[in-house]
Amino acid sequence: MSEQAPTVQTVSASKARQEWSELLDQVYRRHARVLVEAEGVPVAAIVSAEDLEQLTHLEAQREADLGLLDETQAAFAGVPAEELEEQVASAISAVRQQSRRRRPRAS
């Protein structure tokens, strides 16, 4: 069974200062993530080290994915959009035909 996700607790900056130790304990024990507001405007968040590590990993993965998209776009620079669309449609059709041939037929 998976662990329950922490709740998001919103507190004012002054309350965060007053209850700093308690908030850190809740975050550390993964009971809460804390959104800190100043005059009703979100200004910071207090998250566990594990959450921060996961966020950092997700950001790195996103950058890598965007890099692949940039490489793909560069590989087709100068090719008209219509031609690309035709090539993509042709490739999809070929894959679908190949997939149909591989499927066992129902009796």
- Using one digit for the tens of pLDDT, what is the confidence trace for 44-88? 999 999 999 999 999 999 999 999 999 988 988 999 999 999 999
Range of the domain at 43: 7-47
Does pTM top 0.75 for this prediction?
Answer: no
Phi, psi torsion values for 2, nearest 5 degrees: -80, 155
Amino acid 2: pLDDT: 55
Average pLDDT over residues 11-16: 97
Q: Are both 67 and 42 inside the same structural domain?
A: no
- For residue 13, with 0-12 CB atoms within 10 Å meaning exposed, 13-18 middle and 19 or more buried, which class applies? middle
Cβ count near 44 (within 10 Å): 11
Q: What is the chain's alpha carbon radius of gyration, rounded to the nearest angstrom? A: 25
Assess if residue 42 is contained within a domain: yes
Structure tokens at 83: 């031609």
Assess if residue 2 is contained within a domain: no
Amino acid 101: pLDDT: 86
Q: Structurally, how many domains does the chain consist of?
A: 2
Assess if residue 93 is contained within a domain: yes
